[in-house]
Amino acid sequence: MSEEKKEQLEDNVFDQKLLSKIKQEKISPKPKWHFLLKNYVVWTIGLIALLIGAGAVSVLTYLLSNNDFAIHQEINKSLGEFLLLTLPYFWLIFLGLFVFVIYYNIKHTKHGYRYPIWLILLTSVLASLVLGEILFSFKIGEGIDRVLSRNAPLYEFVINPQLDFWSNPEEGRLIGVPIEFFDDDNFILIDQNKKTWKIISASSTVSKFLEKMPMIQEMMQEENAPLPPIRLLGEQISEQEFLVEKIMPFQPGRAFFDRPGHRPRNMRELRCPEKKNGEPCVLESEGPMRSQPLSNLLNN
């Protein structure tokens, strides 16, 4: 018997067995809409994963663009150390996870098997980066960070390690919200752990900072306007005193200080307790304000 006839015979036997099994188990072909629905679901999940990955890129870009890499020289750390301590690993892992989800879903589409893994991964990463930069330009990353910083647990340790990095007074770094100025260059600050500090300025540090940030000067004149969080470089000189040599604004994570306990409930009453009849605050000509005695603020 020739090889060709053998193959035909084997094919016939296989066909007969297959038909017999279909009849015995009463197998019926799935309708076309089943496969179409599966494809739609797979592509929808892939699209959602792409959008989430792009959102991660927009937040990552926002965090990195405000990381002040040049500051590492002023805090006696190498650029490598600074990166390791402040890099937002959460968003990198988050992005990697959703790139994998995109890859997995594309591989399970009708023609996904045709594309090599490197092409799918590269396309997914590039698409996430491009869309993420577009979202960043519309301040979507900033908005996501603001919501998370106000509500997410472990935000300062996991989502945005910059906040925890700057909360290290023993190494000369402090972050918090100024709540009261009691003379030209000294003020009270509440840090991320709700601890109150007396900030002592070296060489008119506060005045120099306010000259660069006129917006904060304007906010100081408003009775109920909460001041934004700031970063301090200097030296801890006692349990509740910090000598500041440089003041810088703080962007990512600033809504963290809107959580309960980081700001006084009533900024007007804190800044002008002597005005109980609703009259506006009257500030001194130099600009700084004095309200509660310093001892009361430090003991709160």
pLDDT in tens, 186-200: 888 999 998 999 999
Q: Are residues 46 and 125 in the same domain?
A: yes
Has residue 109 got a pLDDT over 80? Answer: no
Q: What's the gap between Cα 254 and its chain centre?
A: 10
Residues 258 and 294 in one domain: yes
Higher pLDDT residue, 45 or 279? Answer: 45
Is it the case that residue 260 has pLDDT exceeding 90? Answer: no
Number of domains forming the structure of the chain: 2
Nearest-5° angle of CA 132, CA 136, CA 138?
Answer: 120
Are 109 and 219 members of one domain?
Answer: no
Do 201 and 145 fall within a single domain?
no
Q: Does residue 137 sit in the same domain as residue 192?
A: no
- Residue after which a domain boundary falls, among 135, 161, 187: 161
- 116 and 64, same structural domain? yes
Q: State mean pLDDT over 151-167.
A: 93
- Residue 189 sits in a domain whose CATH number is 2.40.50.140
The pLDDT of 51-68, averaged and rounded, is 93
Residue 20 lies in a domain: no
Query: 177 and 133 share a domain?
Result: no
Give mean pLDDT, residues 224-247: 88
Contact 81, 87 (CB under 8 A): no
Indicate whether 84 belongs to any domain.
yes
pLDDT, position 13:
61
Domain around 241: 168-264+281-299
CA-based nearest residue to 97, from 34, 53, 51, 141: 53
Segment 6-10 mean pLDDT: 59
Q: How confident is the model at residue 4 (pLDDT cuts 50, 70, 90)?
A: low
* Statement: residue 6 has pLDDT above 90: no
Lowest-pLDDT range of 30-39, 42-51, 54-63, 242-251:
30-39
CB 202 within 8 A of CB 292: no
The pLDDT of residue 37: 75
Residue 96 CB-half CA count within 13 A: 6
Q: Is residue 18 part of a domain?
A: no
Residue 111 has pLDDT above 80, yes or no: no
CA atoms of 235 and 192, how far apart (whole Å): 17
